[in-house]
Structure 1
Amino acid sequence: MSIFKIKGGKKLKGEIIPQGAKNEALQIVSAVLLTDQPVTINNIPNIRDVNKLIELIGDLGCKVEKLSKDSYRFTAATVNVNFLETDEYRSKAAALRGSVMLLGPILARFGKASLPKPGGDKIGRRRLDTHFLGFQKLGAKFNFDAAEHLFQIDASELKGCYMLLDEASVTGTANVLMAAVLAKGTTTIYNAACEPYLQQLCLMLNRMGAKISGVGSNLLTIEGVEKLGGTDHTLLPDMIEIGSFIGLAAMTQSEITIKNCRIDMLGMIPDIFKRLGIKMEFRGDDIYIPSQNIYELETFIDGSILTISDAPWPGFTPDLISIVLVVATQAKGTVLIHQKMFESRLFFTDKLIDMGAQIILCDPHRATVIGLERKQQLRGIKMSSPDIRAGVALLIAALSANGVSEISNIDQIDRGYQYIDERLKNLGADIERI
């Protein structure tokens, strides 16, 4: 098990390029199973979760060709559905939450599938009901074998229908959408997620011959087609990395330029960081963050304490709540952080308190952060990364702290951020992988 050893308190400087979007990659790579024609995907991040999914795709019989460091060609002309019944598949799929995204394409094209209960971050209960209820409304029949922890799904005759999703789940919407593109008739999905990554999936499927309208809204209409063709697709830059780098610059008083951000697809992410008092300039498609000694939290118009909470898109993404919380620890002012989606995501605050942060964990979903205004620097400690986003939040805290920090369980961080230590070193960070 590797650890990061970080000597904090250094100002960073330079340019950094965000990786391809992890959450988009998991959907897009799964979608290659919808066609027997070649699909080329560019800007794929070299991270554990995506690499494991590509390995699973290959194990299913899809031809996988690596064209460059971040481009792959997938040809799923022959797919061995029987692999889904093997112990090897169960073991690999159970270790990867993104494996659930294989269900929609496999059901649409082959009419049956099985899936072990998937893994992933331990950030709270992450139910799969939206996926299965959607498949069920399309005509699929499923059974959960509690003894084997295995879902069995029969989708030999999928038919379009109207459905109201019980929650605006991104992965749930994507999975049902991929199943619906090859179903007979018209499917209408209301309360659909409309994140940029979901929009990207819709646009890619339309280029492949699907008929999806309402892209970018929460009402999608899909006219089923008999077959899809191949296409080329380029992933968006990862908005969570971009937000993480904005927070990193503020916490370490650094001057950083984040390149090629696709600012038009970031939604309210820059605005939320501006509410924390962080200055930034848009230079074309780059975000420039100047070095700031002090950044002051806004208040609401009536003077009450600012609240930052997550919400379905176009609301603020829950994946950046951990970053915002860390950044607030050195701000001037007080903020209430409300993480609505996952009940275990704020538990990493105990490590920040050990570092000297002033945080009141009100309950599993809410934390009040009293900014230190840099009057007291965080101190380095030994800690463990509980999940991807909290791990990077702790990494940012360590880079800003006085003294040496050690972060263990960094495999969690590697699941979502490629070469993060090397890229931070290029900015001047004192970080070592041991």
Structure 2
Amino acid sequence: MATFKVEGGHQLKGEITPQGAKNEVLQILCAVLLTPEKIKIENIPNIIDVNKLISILGDLGVKVNQLSEHAYEFQADEVNIDYLSSAAFKEDGKKLRGSIMLVGPMLARFGKGYIPKPGGDKIGRRRLDTHFEGFINLGAKFRYNKEEHFYGVEAKRLQGTDMLLDEASVTGTANIVMAAVLAKGTTTIYNAACEPYLQQLCNMLNRMGAKITGVGSNLLTIEGVERLGGTDHRVLPDMIEIGSWIGMAAMTRSELTIKNVSWENLGQIPRVFRKLGIKLEQKGDDIYIPKQDSYEIESYIDGSMLTVSDAPWPGFTPDLLSIVLVVSTQAKGTVLVHQKMFESRLFFVDKLIDMGAKVILCDPHRATVVGMNHKHSLKATTMTSPDIRAGISLLIAALSAKGTSIIHNVEQIDRGYQNIVERLQAVGAKIERIND
């Protein structure tokens, strides 16, 4: 177990480049199972969750060739399907929520897909119904071992169909799309997720020979094909990391440039931070954030309090609500943060309250934040990171706080942010990792 020691209260300055998108690459890595041909993927982040999935692919028999720190070549021409039933997979698969997306490609190409109940962040219920109902609609038979919490689907050949997803799940949509591309006939998916990362997956599959239309909308039409070929793919920059650095700049009153952000794929992110009063400028494909001693939260036209809530794309991503909440603690004004999707994601606010933040947790989904306008600094404390997004939010709070904070369980942060200590040190942060 490792710990971060953070000396807060220092202004940062310089440039920081976002890593490849974790939420995209987990989908893309699973898609390599759909073809026996080589697939090259660039801009893969060096983080725990991604490395775990690459390890699982290797154990499945996929040939993994690391070309550079962030580029790999994969070839799934000798897949060991029996590994899916092994005790090793039952142990490894449950440690990573992204492993659920192995099921769709395996089912489509090999007629069977198994998965232990996956782990991941402890942020509330994260149902798998959307995934398996989609597979069942495509003709798969479902089974579940309650004793081992082990799921399975099997089918000789999937059959295209029309379906309406019960929720616009990103991973659920990705899984069903990967299953449907090799099904017989045509599949239509209504209420499909349409995030840029899912668009990336669909565009990659089309380059491999799939026939997917409606990409970028909530209605996808997939005409099944007999086989898919190889391709090259580059992962987008991580929009959650970009939002994290915007929040960090505001909280520490720092001047930062975030490089190569892919502005056209940021959606509502710049707009929401601007509503919090944060100045940010587009310079080419970079975001420039000037030093601000104060930022004021906007009100609605009638003067009522601003609400920031999450919604399916093109709405605001739920992964950044924790950042919004922390940033608001030092804004001028008041905001209601409404986390609609996960009922445990706001529970980290007790740590912020310990640091002196004025936050009222209204219920598991809503928190009211009264900003202190930097007139009263947060105070340093000792805390534990409960999940990836709350972890980075607490780290940002610590960077702005007066004194030295200790953050335990930082492996949670490592799951989503690569080389974070070195990258923050490069822009002037006083942070060090202490390994127990």
Look up the equivalent residue of 2:72 and give its one-letter code. Y
Look up the equivalent residue of 1:157 and give its one-letter code. R
Counterpart in 2 of 1:58?
58
Counterpart in 2 of 1:223?
223
Counterpart in 2 of 1:248?
248
Does the alignment pair 1:147 with 2:134? no
Equivalent residues in 2 for 1:198-347 (5 A)?
Answer: 198-347=198-347
Task: Name stretches of at least 5 consecutive residues in structure 2 with no aligned partner.
Answer: none
Look up the equivalent residue of 2:19 and give its one-letter code. Q
Q: Secondary structure at the match of 1:189?
A: strand
Does the alignment pair 1:369 with 2:385? no
In 2, distance between residues paired with 1:367 and 1:213?
40
Counterpart in 1 of 2:17?
17
Counterpart in 1 of 2:431?
431
In 2, distance between residues paired with 1:359 and 1:40?
46
TM-score normalised by the chain length of structure 2:
0.99
Look up the equivalent residue of 1:363 and give its one-letter code. D
- Cα displacement (A) at 1:375: 1.1
Counterpart in 2 of 1:38?
38
In 2, distance between residues paired with 1:113 and 1:202?
21
In 2, distance between residues paired with 1:279 and 1:5?
29
In 2, distance between residues paired with 1:223 and 1:92?
34
- Cα displacement (A) at 1:157: 2.2
Counterpart in 2 of 1:96?
96
Spell out, residue by residue over 1:237-281, the C-alpha distance to the aligned partner (whole angstroms, 9 max, x if none): 000000000000000000000000000000010000000000011
In 1, distance between residues paired with 2:155 and 2:377?
57
Look up the equivalent residue of 2:9 and give its one-letter code. G
Look up the equivalent residue of 1:272 and give its one-letter code. V
- Cα displacement (A) at 1:348: 0.1
Identity %: 70
Look up the equivalent residue of 2:260 and give its one-letter code. N
In 2, distance between residues paired with 1:202 and 1:78?
24
In 1, distance between residues paired with 2:376 and 2:286?
32
- Where in structure 1 do 4 or more consecutive aligned residues deviate above 4 Å? none
- Cα displacement (A) at 1:109: 0.2
- RMSD of aligned alpha carbons: 0.4
Q: Secondary structure at the match of 1:3?
A: strand
Does the alignment pair 1:67 with 2:70? no
Does the alignment pair 1:113 with 2:90? no
Contact 2:112 2:153 in 1 (8 A): yes
Counterpart in 1 of 2:416?
416
Counterpart in 2 of 1:129?
129
In 1, distance between residues paired with 2:237 and 2:410?
22
Contact 2:97 2:118 in 1 (8 A): yes
Q: Secondary structure at the match of 2:2?
A: coil
In 2, distance between residues paired with 1:27 and 1:370?
38
Does the alignment pair 1:406 with 2:406? yes
In 2, distance between residues paired with 1:37 and 1:67?
17
Task: Name stretches of at least 5 consecutive residues in structure 1 with no aligned partner.
Answer: none
Q: Secondary structure at the match of 1:368?
A: strand
TM-score normalised by the chain length of structure 1:
1.00
Spell out, residue by residue over 1:99-136, the C-alpha distance to the aligned partner (whole angstroms, 9 max, x if none): 00100100000001211100000000001000000000
Look up the equivalent residue of 2:231 and give its one-letter code. T
Q: After alignment, is 65-74 or 141-150 more displaced?
A: 141-150
